Amino acid sequence: MVDIDLSQPPFSLLDDAGRARVLNGVDLAYFDSDEIILEVGQPGEFVYVIHKGEIAEFDPLAPGAQARIGHYTAGDLFGAISILNGTSRYRFKVEQESLCYVMPKALFERLCDDYPTFAEFFRRGLAQKTRMLAERRAESGVNMASFMLARISECMRKPLIVTAATSIAMAVGRLNESHADSLLVGKDGRFGVVTKTDLLNALVMEGTAQDRPVVGIAHFELVAAGPDQYLFEALVKMTRHEVSRVVVVERDSPIGVVELTDVLSYFSSRSYVVSLELEQADDIEALARASARLPGLVQALMAQGVKLRFAMDLLAALNGRIINKAFQFLIEPRCRAQSCLLVMGSEGRGEQILKTDQDNALIVADDSDWPDCADAMQRFTETLYRLGYPPCPGNIMVSNPVWVDSESGWRRTITRWAERRDGAALMNLAIMLDAHGVAGDIRLLGRLREHLFASCSHDELLLSYLARAALHFAAPLTLFGTLKKPRHGIDIKKGGIFPIVHGVRTLALECRITATSTLGRLEALADQGRLEADFAADLGEALALFTELRLKQQLAQLNGRQNSDEPNLVVVQTLSSLERDLLREALHIVKDFQQRLTHRFHLEY
C-alpha cells in the first residue's frame, strides 16, 4: 500500500485528481547503503520521494569537503531537476539503506504539463517559491485571512470631485447629497481633500464665510494608494499617517477614496481591530488596554497565515501610534515641537512583532527651552513600561541622559563615534542608523541622518569595520552544506537574521539609503543596482522565513507551550520537510551574502 504524504508541496499544488494519479503511478524501491541512485550526467528517469533512510548529494567537481552539497531524509524529494534538465548535474548516493517512492519520468512530465504551478515549483528560487506557496494557500482558503486578499479596488468609493471655484456652502450640499465624508478639490492639476470636520471647523470655529472657495481649506498632501494594493495596506497607511482615508490614484489621477469606516466594515467580522481602540484612547489607561491587545492580534494574524511583511507593517504602525500617543499625553505641545522622539533597533526598522525592550532616544532643538526634560523622559520611560515595553538592558532609553541631546550635540557624538570605530562606537552607529522618528519634529532626525551619511558613507575603513560584524556568526550549515542539528537547536537570530539585517544596513549606509526597514533597504539597493533584484528578493524572503520561525517560538513561549526561555533556538528535527528545505536554502543565501560582503569590503583575513 502506498503511504506517501501528498499534503505538502509540491504535491499540494495538485488537485485531487492529480494526487490520485501520483498514488496510482508510483512504486516503492529499496536502495542499499553506498548505492548510487543517480550519477553525474545520467539522464533523469525518476523522481524520488524518500520514505525511509538518508541520501547525500555530491558535486564531484567541488574540492574536498565542499563536494557534499545536500542531505535528504524522510519526506524529501530529489531527481525532478535532472528530468527537467535532461541529465543529473550531481551524484545521489545512499548513506543509510533507504526506501523511496519512485515516480516515472513520463508521469512527472504529464503532471508538469497539466499543472503549471506544480512545474513552476521546481524552477523557481526561494523568493518565488515561498510567494507561490502563500498564494496557493490563499487560493485554497486554508489559512490566509480573506481580508488579506481584498484589493483596494474592491472597497473604494467613487471620488466626489469639485472645482476650485466651488464655495463652502456648495461643498456642504454636495456632501449631503452624496452621503460622503470627504470630497476632492481640483486645482491646477492637483487635488486636495476636504473632510466634514474641515468644513465644520471652518464654519463654526473659524467663522469662515459660506461663499468662500472651499479650496482654501483643502489639504493637498494626500495619503494615496493604488487600486491593486491590498486593503490591508490601506489600513496600515491610515494608521501610520493618522488619517481616516486614503485617496486611490491611478496614473496621477484620483479614481476613488477608501474611508476608515469602509475598511472597518469590511473587517467587521474581526473583533480585533485594535487600531480603532487606539485612536479612541484618550488617556494612558485606555492606551494601556489597547496596547495589551497587541499580542492577541499577533497570534490571530499568524494563525490565519497573514503574510509576515503585512503583519510587521501593521504592528510597526500600531506600536508607533502607541508611543506617539503616550508622548502626546505626557509632553506639552511646546516641548513636542522642539524635539524628535526616535525609536531604534527592531522597532526603528519596523521589524518588531511582539514587544521587546525599549530602544529610544530624543533629539532636542538647539534653541529649545525645556529645563525639566530629564524628569519628563523618566516619566515617559516608566509609562512605556506600563504599556508593555520592558526597559532596555543596555539602558538605551530616553531616561538615560546619554541618549538625550541637542541637535548639535548629536552631531558631535556621531562624528566622535565615526572617528573612534571601536566596538561600542560601531554598535551605537548601527543603532542610530535604524532610528525612526515617531513623535515631535521629524525634520530634526532628517538633518541628523544627513550628517551621519556625510560622516560615514564614504569612509571605506569604517564601512569595512561595520561589515565585519555581519560575518561574526557563520550560517549554521555543516561543511557539507547541510543543516546543523544540535539537540538544543540552532540560533536563528545569530545565524540568519543578524547577518542579513546588519549586512544590508552597512550597504544602505554606503548608498545613503534613508529607508530603515531591511526590506525597504533591499528594494532601494536593488533599484540602485547595488544588488541584483532576484538576490535582494531572496534575501528578503530568507529574512521573513527566519523571522517567522523565531516568532513561532515566541508565540509558543507566550502560550506556555515552550519551556525554553530562548526564543531564538530552532530545533531542526521538529521542522517539516518543506521547512527544512526552505531553511537550508535560506541559510545558503545568507552564506552567499556573507561571501559578497567579504569580497566587497576586503575582509578575506
Please give the full DSSP string across 464-521, using - where no structure is assigned. HHHHHGGGSS--SB-TTSPBP--TT-EEHIIIIIHHHHHHHHHHHHHTT----SHHHH
Confidence of residue 153 (pLDDT cuts 50, 70, 90): confident
Amino acid 150 reads A
Looking at residue 45, what is its pLDDT? 92
Residue 129 confidence (pLDDT): 58
Report, as an integer, the average pLDDT of 382-396: 92
Res 271 pLDDT > 60: no
Q: Residues 451-507: pLDDT tens digits? A: 999 999 999 999 999 999 999 888 888 766 677 777 778 888 999 999 999 999 999
pLDDT digit string (tens) for 5-21? 787 778 888 898 999 99
pLDDT, tens digit, 9 for 90 and up, residues 357-387? 889 999 999 999 999 999 999 999 999 999 9
pLDDT digits (tens, 9 = 90+) for 211-251: 899 989 999 888 999 998 888 788 778 877 878 889 999 98
Specify which residues 58 forms β-bridges with: 68, 91
What average pLDDT does this structure show over 172-187? 84
Can you read off the three cell numbers belonging to residue 388? 508593555
Looking at the predicted structure, is the pLDDT value of residue 558 above 90?
no
188-214 pLDDT per residue, tens: 888 999 988 888 888 888 888 888 999
**How much is the pLDDT for 143?**
42
- Residue 403 DSSP code: G
Q: Please give the Cα distance from 320 to 439 (Å, whole number).
A: 9
Question: pLDDT value at position 266?
Answer: 63
- Report d(CA 354, CA 356) in Å as an integer: 6
Report the pLDDT value the prediction gives residue 548, as an integer from 0 to 100: 84
Residues 93-131: tens digit of each pLDDT: 998 889 999 999 999 999 999 988 888 777 665 555 555
Task: Tell me which of 25-29, 301-305, 406-410, 593-597 is least confident.
Answer: 301-305
**What span, in angstroms and rounded, lies between the C-alpha atoms of 556 and 227?**
37
pLDDT (0 to 100) of residue 264: 65
Q: Which pLDDT belongs to residue 435?
A: 96
Global pTM value: 0.67
Question: Biggest alpha carbon distance in the chain?
Answer: 92
Residue whose C-alpha is closest to residue 215's, from 233, 246, 193, 200: 193
Mean pLDDT over 74-93 rounds to: 86
Distance in angstroms (rounded) separating the CA atoms of residues 367 and 407: 10
Query: For residues 170 and 162, what is the distance between their CA atoms, to the nearest angstrom?
Result: 9
pLDDT score recorded for residue 413? 97
- 75 has which bridge partners? none
At residue 553, does pLDDT exceed 80?
no
> Any alpha helices (H) in 34-184, and if so which ranges?
80-85, 105-114, 116-121, 126-140, 146-149, 168-178
Do you find a cis peptide bond into 10, omega within 30 degrees of 0? Answer: yes
Per-residue confidence band for 293, with pLDDT thresholds at 50, 70 and 90? confident
Q: How far apart are CA 492 and CA 475, in angstroms?
A: 9
Q: Give the rounded percent of residues in the chain with a pLDDT score beyond 70.
A: 88
Of 127, 83, 140, the C-alpha closest to 582 is 127
pLDDT computed for residue 128 by the predictor: 57
User: How high does pLDDT run on average in the chain?
Assistant: 85
Residue 416's pLDDT is what? Answer: 96
Q: What is the 3-state secondary structure (H, E, C) of 260-302?
A: HHHHHHHCCCCCCCHHHHHHHCCCHHHHHHHHCCHHHHHHHHH
Residues counted in the chain: 605
